[in-house]
Amino acid sequence: MTSPWHGILKKIDDYRWEIPQSYKVGMRVPGLVYASERMLNQIWEEHAIEQIANVAFLPGIMGRSMAMPDIHWGYGFPIGGVAATRISDGVISPGGVGFDINCGTRLLRTNLSVEEVQPKIDELLNELFSKIPSGVGSSGNIKLSGTDIDNVMTRGGSWALEKGMGEAEDIKLTEESGSLSGANPDKVSNKAKTRGASQLGTLGSGNHFLEVQVVDEIFDPEVAAVFGVQALGQVLFLIHTGSRGLGHQVCTDYVQLLNEAVKKYGINLPDRQLACAPLKSDDGQNYLAAMACAANYAWANRQCITHWARDAFMKVFEKGRLDLGMDQIYDVAHNIAKIEEHMVDGKVQNVCVHRKGATRSFPAGRPEIPAVYRKVGQPVIIPGDMGRYSYVAVGTETAMRETFGSTCHGAGRILSRGAAKKTTSGTQLLDTLRSQGISIRVGDIGSLAEEASEAYKDVADVVEVTHKAGIARNIFKTRPLGVIKG
């Protein structure tokens, strides 16, 4: 049977599919989907193709409206969407960043082996769970005053470092050194600040997680060694969370504001969820300043969690920091818009790159990459679901040429949270994971089913596309030993 997208999508090669500019009247550029052919039916059925085409209507969009293989339906932009806009006449769209501003991943390595950790995994998860609050609306150990929260939003990870949480090397090994410039707390509502005042150092709920994982396969030993990964069986620690209620409120506030701005600037869009404003306008600049505040809050959040995670490991394994070797590999954002320098039409220029459910994938030589990685490229952290595996890749020149230095960010949902709950129960899933040798600590057993493996694409299929398309190169693979969910 012929698939519904046949005759509409143009096959460029096995992993690239073009949405012609003629697909919808008003598209300013074509669309481009990175996917295998067997992924396309699900992408089509979810109407994510429509969202890619709609993004192509944005004023000032450059190149193509792009989607990574983990694409699924989102607010305005699809999750897994990438779009770059010109500074001169382009726009900024909160829907191209998402509600969980700077949701991102941070990966730490250890000197511990699976043989050392497996017998103590439940004790370790309990200690991590007690130190790092999780769940809907969770409050942390830090209570921020008005001045404090403004400092967090401007200083980012450095704020936590100055409070004794973490090490200078953590900041060096974080995208943007853990602090996006241009943050202005005056552009963040009091409601957003109130929501963030008690949530610093907390995991949250939904797809956020902490994972104790073990290196399962190494594809490039030389690059893996540069990342500090030396052997199979080495234990790593992965953090996945973002800006919590503060970031969500910033997005909510500016979506409402920019819905009015669209009329003011005479911008015609096929979907009101693409609300935007010219980058050079006060409205556009105000959103960028508020978004930077939320991004910085997220980096401070992950920095605090890093500090408490190290404490938990030290307590459980009765080892000092140096003996544990619990050093940061990298921290990368995957819900953000940034002004970056790219080669476009044969000349270097600044553009605004929206990455929503997409990760930066810069190659060797880029000055934005930490010096220790500059000869090999930026680490790209790609988590899968809690029942399977995750990958670490490295950025490539192909990504710089094709995707404004972007690649996938994870597995990508294929079932809604409600649909996932119909496939299994939290208790059943807990038993299944335990039978696979994966320990789980969760605050709400009922919500655990929302994160079942069946709710996600197989991340191995996703990274096969990005690897073979050349927009990220696989370096090593991990599997979970223990997971904490909110």
Using pLDDT thresholds of 50, 70 and 90, give the confidence band for residue 139: low
335 is in an annotated binding site: yes
User: Which pTM value belongs to this model?
Assistant: 0.96
Residue-wise pLDDT for 335-364, tens only, equals: 999 999 999 988 999 999 999 999 999 999
Q: Is 209 annotated as a binding residue?
A: yes
pLDDT level of residue 6 (50, 70, 90 thresholds):
confident
Out of 63-77, 113-127, 138-152, pick the least confident. Answer: 138-152
* Residues belonging to the chain: 486
Terminal-residue alpha carbon distance, the chain: 43
Phi, psi of 203 (to 5 degrees): -85, -40
Q: Are 138 and 196 in contact (CB under 8 A)?
A: no
Check whether 217 is labelled as a binding-site residue: no
Is there a contact between 334 and 357 (Cβ–Cβ < 8 Å)?
yes
Question: Is-contact 315 173, C-beta < 8 A?
Answer: no
Lowest-pLDDT choice from 119-133, 332-346, 378-392, 420-434: 420-434
Under the banding of pLDDT at 50, 70 and 90, the label for residue 143 is confident
Q: Residue 198 gets which letter from DSSP? A: T
* C-beta of residue 239 within 8 angstroms of C-beta of residue 306: yes
**Residues forming beta bridges with residue 354, ordered by sequence position:** 83, 337
The type of residue at 10 is K
Instruction: Say whether 251 sits in a helix, a strand or coil.
Output: helix
pLDDT at 46 over 90: no
Mean of pLDDT over the chain:
94
pLDDT winner (highest mean) among 146-150, 348-352, 450-454:
348-352
Residue 78's SS3 state is coil
How many Å is the maximal CA-CA distance in the chain?
64
- Domain 104-414+456-485 bears CATH identifier 3.40.50.720: no
Q: Is the predicted pLDDT of residue 136 greater than 70, yes or no?
A: no
Q: What is the pLDDT of residue 138?
A: 64
350 annotated as a binding-site residue: no
With bands split at pLDDT 50, 70 and 90, how would you rate the model's confidence at 151?
A: very high
Token output for 435: 């039978």
Name the E strands within 37-163.
61-72, 79-86, 91-92, 104-113
Q: Report whether pLDDT(1) > 70.
A: no
Average pLDDT over residues 315-332: 96
What digits encode the pLDDT tens for the residues 363-410? Answer: 999 999 999 999 999 999 999 998 899 999 999 999 999 999 999 999
Tell me the three state secondary structure of residue 4: coil
Mean pLDDT of 277-287: 97
> Which is nearest to 67 in space by CA: 99, 40, 94?
40
DSSP label of 405 = S
Instruction: Tell me the percentage of the chain whose pLDDT exceeds 90.
Output: 82
**For residue 135, what pLDDT is reported?**
59
| 204-219 pLDDT per residue, tens | 888 899 999 999 999 9
* 6 marked as binding residue: no
Strand-pair partners of 311: none
pLDDT, residue 324, reads: 96
Instruction: Please tell me whether 446 is known to bind a ligand.
Output: no
**pLDDT level of residue 39 (50, 70, 90 thresholds):** very high
* Mean pLDDT along residues 34-39: 95
Q: Given CA atoms 476, 478, 484, 486 in this order, what sign does their dihedral have?
A: positive
Q: Which residue did the predictor score with more confidence, 363 or 450?
A: 363
pLDDT: which is higher, 444 or 429: 429
Q: Sort 116 into a burial class: Cβ within 10 Å, 0-12 / 13-18 / 19+.
A: middle
For residues 355 and 334, the answer to whether their CB atoms sit within 8 Å is: yes
Of 364, 465, 449, 458, whose CA–CA distance to 408 is shortest?
Answer: 465
Helices 282-317 and 121-131: crossing angle, nearest 10°?
A: 140
What is the DSSP code (8-state) at residue 99?
Answer: S
What are the tokens at 346?
């044969």
To the question of whether residue 240 is assigned a binding role by annotation, the answer is yes
Q: Of 307, 354, 409, 467, which residue is the catalytic one?
A: 409
**Lowest-pLDDT range, 139-153, 338-352, 460-474?**
139-153
| pLDDT value at 314 more than 70 | yes
For residue 409, indicate whether it is catalytic.
yes
In this predicted structure, what is the pLDDT of residue 450? 83
* Cβ(140)–Cβ(147) below 8 Å: no
- 135 φ/ψ sector (left φ>0, alpha ψ -120 to 50, else beta): left
Rounded to whole angstroms, how far apart are CA atoms 28 and 24? 10
How far lies 250's CA from each of 126, 183, 253, 349, 456, in Å? 33, 13, 5, 29, 28
Return all residues near 185 (Cβ < 8 A) that are at least 6 apart: 149, 150, 153, 154, 193, 293
Which backbone phi and psi does 121 adopt, to 5 degrees? -65, -40
- Please determine, for residue 446, whether its predicted confidence score (pLDDT) is greater than 80: no
Instruction: Report whether 131 contacts 203 (CB < 8 A).
Output: no
* Residue 296 clears pLDDT 60, i.e. is over it: yes
Separation in Å, CA 373 to CA 66, 224, 420: 27, 11, 39
Q: State yes or no: pLDDT of 119 exceeds 80.
A: yes
Numbers of helices and strands, H then E, in the chain: 16, 19
Sign for the pseudo-dihedral over CA of 411, 156, 331, 304: negative
Mutual angle of helices 37-45 and 48-55, in 10-degree steps: 80
Tokens 């556009």 sit at which residue? Answer: 284
- Better-scored residue on pLDDT, 449 or 235: 235
Query: Binding site annotation covers 266?
Result: no
